[in-house]
Amino acid sequence: MNTPVQKFFYHGNETAITQHAAALILAEAYRAVSHRGGFSMVLAGGNSPKPLYTMLAQGVSTELLERLTLPLPDGRSKSGFDRRLRLPEKTWLFMGDERCVPLDHPDSNCRMIKETLLLHSALAEEHFVRMAGEQADTEQAARDYEDRLRSLFLTSDNPQEFPRFDLILLGLGDDGHTASLFPDNPDLLQEDGRWVCSVDAPAGKPPGKRLTLTLPVINHARNIIFFTSGKHKSELAETIFLEQENSVPASLIKPVNGNLFWFTTQP
């Protein structure tokens, strides 16, 4: 049975929204491990999530979760365990999109994720499932990533149409794109079968080929978090949240059976 989708909007300075988002992610991570034995999180690229990844790698205090009235692991009080929480060992990280550039390229999302989160956390390297943006055949790279997701999420006992990630983190572009779902690619926005696609992004920064999860995959997540900053993006985020803007790709993020959170700096 589907439960009503809950939507939340938070804004503040960059430190406040980073702390709040990190605390929420950690609370959901420990909840997922407790209920389902593991936590699956899709990571956003670009510049906006860098401070968030750094904070997740360093950990946050249990006092912060208590102050935000977020659940602590196992329901215990902060006196019962380490007062700084980091992502649990049973975390699996995935990529929501990737620029098709070499791994050592400054615009590589994989490189950014490794430098801000993976190198400073205790997570096993094999728990990061990345997109092969450096692969020359981008269509094959998309198929390979989808095959990898299918091998992890689909079983004979669980033959669902789309994966159900515990949490997907998204950014927001000035033009309203999210992941690598751009306004000038209407066919991709209508995709209802594939999980991963290769896409031309002439309006991207930088322009070029990209790999991206599709809308149905994103909308099947248990929790979706938009995390963005800057005056224009914050104003755009609020109009999307209030459903006053419905023509950009980010406005198509509507969880099938999950929660939607927006974190932005104050306009």
Q: What is the pLDDT of residues 251-262, one digit of tens each?
A: 999 999 999 999
DSSP letters spanning 129-169: E---TT-S-HHHHHHHHHHHHHHHH-BTTB--SS---SEEE
Mean per-residue pLDDT, 161-178:
96
CA–CA gap between residue 146 and residue 177 (Å, rounded)? 21
Largest distance between two CA atoms of the chain: 53
Residues across the chain: 267
Domain that holds residue 227: 6-61+86-265
Question: Quick check: is 221 in a domain?
Answer: yes
Number of domains, the chain: 1
pLDDT of residue 156 exceeding 60: no
Please give the backbone phi and psi of residue 164, each rounded to the nearest 5 degrees, phi first.
Answer: -120, 85
Specify which residues 170 forms β-bridges with. Answer: 226
Whether the model clears a pTM of 0.85, i.e. scores above it, the answer is yes
Question: Quick check: is 73 in a domain?
Answer: no
Question: Quick check: is 1 in a domain?
Answer: no
User: In the chain, what percentage of residues exceed pLDDT 90?
Assistant: 85
Question: Quick check: is 68 in a domain?
Answer: no
Question: Quick check: is 126 in a domain?
Answer: yes
Q: Between the CA of residue 10 and those of 23, 111, 266, what are the distances in Å?
A: 13, 29, 9
Q: In this predicted structure, which of 5-9, 29-33, 93-97 has the lowest mean pLDDT?
A: 5-9
Q: What is the pLDDT of residues 116-152, one digit of tens each?
A: 999 989 898 899 999 999 999 999 999 999 999 999 9
Question: Quick check: is 81 in a domain?
Answer: no
Q: The domain spanning residue 190 has which CATH number?
A: 3.40.50.1360
pLDDT of residue 2 exceeding 80: no
Kindly state the helix (H) or strand (E) to which residue 9 belongs, with its residue range. Answer: strand 6-12
Q: What is the pLDDT of residues 216-233, one digit of tens each?
A: 999 999 999 999 999 999
Question: Quick check: is 77 in a domain?
Answer: no
Question: Quick check: is 125 in a domain?
Answer: yes
Q: Between the CA of residue 115 and those of 32, 53, 104, 110, 244, what are the distances in Å?
A: 26, 9, 11, 9, 37
For residue 5, give both structure tokens. Answer: 């989708």
- The structure tokens 């990345």 sit at 130
